[in-house]
Structure 1
Amino acid sequence: MSPLTTGLLIFVVTTAVLATGMPIAFALGSVALGFMIAVDGWNSVHFVAETFFSGLNDFTLVSLPMFIIMGAAVASSRAGSDLYEALARWLHRVPGSLVISNIGACALFAALTGSSPATCAAIGKMGIPEMRRRGYDADLATGAIAAGGTLGILIPPSITMILYGIASETSIGRLFIAGIIPGLLLTALFMAWALFLSWKRGNKLIDKDRVYSMKEKLELLPKLLPFLAVIVGVIYALYGGIATPSEAAGVGAMLCLVMVVLIYRLWKVADLWRILRDGLRESGMLMLIIGASILFGYMMSSLQVTQAVASSIGDLQVNRWWIMLAINVLLLVAGCFLPPAAIILMTTPILMPILNAAHFDPIWFGVILTINMELGLITPPVGLNLFVINGITPDVRLGTILKGSFPFMMCMVLAILILCVFPELATWLPSKVMGK
């Protein structure tokens, strides 16, 4: 059997196993082990434990649980509600101000937590009922939060970019800083669409007679500025060469824990236990997926599948942008069925040789891949953000949420096209800050 035929068989079997609902780590591990035994016999079992644990023997992985705890601490507090309320007061006189405030709150909260579902839940619980109460249509209200929540995996610090950096062996610091301008671009596109649709539907100024005093606008800032200062400090420590990602993440996690205790009075043992429990659960899940994906990648490489795919695509006499289009379609389809962590860890070992052969910048592609993962979060049948929003507003049909999300999906596609035409939007800032 040729390596390409073997690769196709692996793809079919992996898809079938994942469709059974088996946990991703166990699915990848069992498929890898099964093909290794089928091709190389039982002697290949000797390499399983060594390969699995050597994949986790990376000091960079320490940053994962630290950033997760950092996000869990902020998500457990009222920081999301306070952030939304503060922006709503400052942007009160802007047409469509409430939708724009919610998208802005999503972008800032995303930078604090790095989690799309957490961003949707924290901002949506307060923002969606308030938007609907003030006359905004249900599709716009829910779609804006579902899409805004996806910014959690693009604006740094981003768990998705950490996973891609580990899988592709690229600088996590460069990936973080590469996501800043595209993150702001995507936020601006979301806001522009929200402003246009609000204006078109007549939601120009709601509660026109309401005036917020300067005191009311400033009173929430003392609660929010310390958290934003932590994000700025973590990013400065990373890009200023002061600390490694793991060290900066550790300090950021500790500071966020201290601040939720001091600012939001989450000092009870039960509150702290919930934060640490959730952080441990998500970290353990990601570590298992990473270990299993390393084993899966080892199996693909040892069977020459990765090399054969890269060689075949490299031999194609087509423009490299057709290759990029095919990769984007692959990622979009995969995003409809699998979570971002699984897609990144499964596909990156296969895609990196192809990208190198086609002379695509891996840092730039990290941003493109992340936006594709964002699309998957609001694309059925497994669009996680859609179900989070549906849980917050059970009286709104899933079809209505999807209808409201669709224009924001088009904004993401437009952002990908803009980055393809102007790749410097992702590559200029990392080169400027960290050198060539």
Structure 2
Amino acid sequence: MDPLILGALVAVATIAVLFSGVSVATGLLIVSGLFLVLFEGMWALELMPDKFFGKLNSFALLSIPMFIIMGSAISSTRAGADLYEALERWLTRVPGGLVMSNLGACALFSAMSGSSPATCAAIGKMGIPEMRKRGYPEEVAAGSIAAGGTLGILIPPSVTMIVYGIATETSIGRLFLAGVLPGLMLVGLFMVWSVYSTWRNTGLSVMSARSYSLREKLEILPRVIPFLLVIVGVLYAMYGGIATPSETAAVGALLCLLMAIVIYRMWSPKSLWVVLRDSTRESVMILFIIGAAGVFSYMLSSLFITQSIAMWISDLDVNRWVLLGAVNVFLLIAGFFLPPVAVILMAAPILLPIILAADFDPYWFAVILTINMEIGLISPPVGLNLYVISSIAPDIKLKTILKGSMPYVGCMVLAIVILCVFPGIATWLPDLVMGPVR
């Protein structure tokens, strides 16, 4: 059978299995086993365990559970509330300052926790009621938190970037650096839109709020700054050549646990058990998907599907930007239905040779891919962040939340366009710190 036709059958079968309700990892194993048996015989099943565990035989994978523990420790405390309150006290007299405080808190908290739903819940529980009380439009209140929660998969340290690095065998440290400036650019775009939308609807009359004294502004900082220093310390250790990403993640996880115990008095063994239990559950889920994706990639390569798709696309006489546009549409659609980790593990090994053949930078492309995944987090039908916002603000209609999030999707699309015009936004910092890619 022609490999391209076989690839189409694999795609249809994968979509059908995943939509049946089974987990992503189980679905990938079912599809892989089915096609290997059909086209290579029962003996092919003997290789599946070897490919599954071989994909997990990487020291870099240790950073995933460590960063997850780090984020879980932060999410289990009042760090999100304190971070929000600190920014709110400093920006309260700035026109549109409250919505800027929420977006800044989302950016920082999502970077610390690495969890989009946790960010929406932690910042949204305080930010949304406060914005509504001061007269901010419901669309801005809900949409800004939903969009702000997505920033954690781009701003380092990012588990999504680690997964991309493992799937494509690219430098995790360089990927982290590539996400810094685009992440800050997205925060800026979100803030500009939020302030403009508030001004258009209310004339910024909502800016009048309580004034805080300098003492009140300073007294909240000791509870926030230590966590921010951990993030800075982790990145410094990584790029200063002091430790590997896995080692810095382990130190960061230990420090966050200790600070959660000391600053927020999380002494109870039960509380610590919840942190470790939830971290283990999420880590196993991600590692299970990584192992299953390794089997899935082996099946595609063994049946010559990956190579045929790459050859077919490379033979197309189309402009490379048209090709990139088609890739973005594919990623956008995939992100509507699947979590970012699954999309990256399934698509990155196939897309990377195409991107390299078209002379695009793989680290720049990682940023483009990640922003696409962010769009999926606030877009139906899955749109996880939309449902998190709906659960913490049930009196706001889902239609209103969706309406409020759509302009931020536009901001993300604009960010992709800007990155295409000025790719140096993603590549300048990695090249500066680590030198040009050879």
Sort the TM-score into its range (normalised by shorter chain): over 0.9
SS of 1:106's partner is helix
Distance 2:366 2:219 in 1: 39
The answer to whether the Cα contact below 8 Å between 1:95 and 1:203 also exists between their aligned partners in 2 is no
Distance 1:359 1:308 in 2: 19
Distance 1:389 1:379 in 2: 13
Distance 1:268 1:18, change over 3 A: same
Give the secondary structure class of the aligned counterpart of 2:206: coil
Match of 1:293 in 2: 293
Task: Identify the residue that residue 393 of structure 1 maps to in structure 2.
Answer: 393
Equivalence for 1:413: 413
- The gaps in structure 1 that reach 5 residues or longer are none
Task: Give yes or no for the alignment of 1:356 onto 2:346.
Answer: no
- Give the Cα separation in 2 of the matches to 1:183 and 1:211: 30
1:34 matched residue in structure 2: 34
Which AA in structure 1 matches 2:171? S
Partner of residue 310, structure 2: 310
1:362-419 CA-to-partner distances (Å, cap 9, x unmatched) read 1000000000000000010000000111111111111100000000000000000000
Taking the aligned partners of 2:142 and 2:203, their CA distance within structure 1 comes to 16
The code of the aligned residue for 1:58 comes to: S
What residue identity is the alignment partner of 2:325? L
8 A contact 2:94–2:207 mirrored in 1:
no
Q: Give the counterpart letter for 2:97 in structure 1.
A: S
Aligned equivalents of 1:223, 1:156: Cα separation in 2: 21
Pairing 1:11-410 to 2, within 5 Å after superposition = 11-202=11-202, 204-206=204-206, 208=208, 210-410=210-410
Report the Cα distance in structure 2 between the residues aligned to 1:11 and 1:279, rounded to whole angstroms. Answer: 32
1:37–1:44 CA contact under 8 A, matched in 2: yes
> Retained in 2: the 8 A contact 1:84–1:127?
yes
Q: What code does the residue aligned with 1:15 have?
A: I
For residue 51 of structure 1, report the CA deviation from its aligned partner.
0.6
Structure 1: how far apart are the matches of 2:357 and 2:75? Answer: 42
Q: Does the residue aligned with 1:155 lie in a helix, a strand or coil?
A: coil
1:261-281 residue CA offsets vs partner (Å, 9 max, x unmatched): 000011101110000000000
Residues 69, 279 of structure 1: 8 Å contact kept: yes
Encode CA deviations 1:65-85: one digit per residue, 9 max, x unaligned: 000000000001000011111
Query: Alpha-carbon deviation of 1:429?
Result: 0.3
Alpha-carbon separation, structure 2, partners of 1:28 and 1:92: 49
Mapped to 2, the partners of 1:241 and 1:369 lie a distance apart of 28
Letter in 2 for 1:250: A
Deviations 1:89-139 (A, max 9, x none): 111111111111100000111111111111111100111111111111211
Percent identical pairs in the alignment equals 62
TM-score (norm 1): 0.99
* Counterpart residue identity of residue 35, structure 1: F
Question: After the TM superposition, which segments of 4 or more aligned residues of structure 1 sit over 3 Å from their partners?
Answer: none
Amino acid at match of 1:19: F
- What is the alpha-carbon distance in structure 2 between the residues aligned to residue 221 and residue 136 of structure 1? 26
Listed as ranges, the gaps of 5+ residues in structure 2 are none
**CA-atom RMSD, angstroms?**
0.8
- Code of the residue aligned with 2:401 in structure 1: it is I
Deviation of the 1:210 alpha carbon = 2.4
Does the aligned pair in 1 maintain the 2:70–2:253 contact within 8 Å? Answer: yes
Question: How much does 1:207 deviate?
Answer: 6.4
Residue 45 of structure 1: how far off its partner (Å): 1.0
- Counterpart of 1:152, as a letter, is G
Over residues 226-257 of structure 1, what are the superposed CA-to-partner deviations in whole Å (9 max), with x where a residue is unaligned?
00000000001111111100000000000000
Counterpart amino acid of residue 270 in structure 2:
A
Contact persistence 1:135–1:203 (CA under 8 A): no
Contact (CA 8 Å) 1:7, 1:305: kept in 2 or not? yes
2:278 alignment partner AA: D
Distance 1:359 1:209, change over 3 A: closer
Alpha carbons 2:386, 2:402 under 8 Å: kept: yes
Say which SS state the counterpart of residue 337 (structure 2) adopts: coil
Cα distance in 1 for partners of 2:154, 2:200 equals 29
3-state secondary structure, aligned to 1:266: coil
- Residue 435 (structure 1) aligned with residue 435 (structure 2): yes
* 1:207/1:188 CA distance change after superposition, 3 Å: closer
Number of aligned positions between the proteins: 436
Once residues 331 and 247 of structure 1 are traced to their aligned partners in structure 2, the CA distance between those partners, rounded to angstroms, is 32
Go from structure 1 to structure 2 and tell me whether the alpha carbon gap of 1:209 and 1:302 turns closer, same or farther (over 3 Å shift).
Answer: closer
TM-score where L is the length of structure 2:
0.99
TM-fit CA distance, 1:206: 3.2
What is the Cα deviation at residue 203 of structure 1? 5.2
Residue type at the aligned position of 2:72: A
